[in-house]
A and B are shown apart, each in its own frame.
Chain A
Amino acid sequence: VNNTSRTLIVTFFVFFLLFTGLAGAATSPESTCKEKHIIFGFFNGVKTHPAQAWSSLLELRKIHGDYNLRGEKIKYRTFYNSTLGFADFVETFEQRAEEQNGVLKGRYELFFDAINGGGGSWWSSILKVLPNQQAVLEAMPSAQAIAAQLLAAQKTNTELNYSFHKDTIDAAVKTGTKLLFVAHSQGNLFANAAYKYAITAITKNGIKQSFGDVYFSPESMIRMVHIAPASIETHGPVILADKDLVINGLRLLGGGVPSITDVIGGYFLRPAGINGERDFLGHGLLEIYINQKMPIANSVKSAIDSELNSLNPPPCGMEFLFQATITCDFVKYPYGQYSKTRHLLRAGYHHDVFGQIIVNIRAVGGLDDDAHFQVISGVPKSLTVTSDTMKPFPWHRRDAWVKYDFEKKSVTASFKYGKFFTDGYGIACTQTEPVLVWARSVEEVERTDYSSGSLITW
Chain B
Amino acid sequence: LLALEESKAIPKLERGNTISGVDSDSNGLRDDVERYISENYPIKAQKAAATQAARAIQKVLLITDLTDSALVHAASEKEAQGIQCIYSVFDGSADSMQPAQVVQELVSVTTNTKPRLLAYLAYSKALDGTSMELSEGDTCE
Contacts and interface: CB of A to CB of B under 8 A. Distances in A.
Interface string B123-136: 11101111111100
A87 B111 CA distance: 13
Contacts of B118: 87, 90
A52 B103 CA distance: 8
B116 A108 contact: yes
Interface stretch (B18-26, B42-50, B92-100): B92-100
Contact of B79 (A50, A108, A164, A286): A50
A442 B1 CA distance: 64
B136 to A, nearest CB: 8
A18 interface: no
Given A51-B57, A103-B1, A168 B9 contact: no
A161 B104 contact: no
B38 interface: no
A277 interface: yes
Given A58-B134, A111-B108, A50 B98 contact: no
Nearest to A286: B100
B76 A50 contact: yes
Contacts of A130: 1
A94 B79 contact: no
Interface in B8-45: 9-11, 13, 15
A165 B103 CA distance: 25
A125 B10 contact: yes
A291 to B, nearest CB: 10
B114 A94 contact: yes
Interface string A97-130: 0000001101111111100000011100110011
B121 interface: yes
Interface residues of B, number: 49
Given A51-B79, A87-B118, A168 B131 contact: yes
A76 interface: yes
Contacts of A112: 104, 107-108, 111
Given A75-B133, A277-B104, A62 B87 contact: yes
A80 B131 contact: yes
Interface in B65-116: 76, 79-80, 83-84, 87, 92, 97-101, 103-104, 106-109, 111-114, 116
Interface of A: 41, 49-52, 54-55, 57-59, 61-62, 75-83, 86-87, 90, 94, 103-104, 106-113, 120-122, 125-126, 129-130, 161-165, 167-168, 273-277, 286
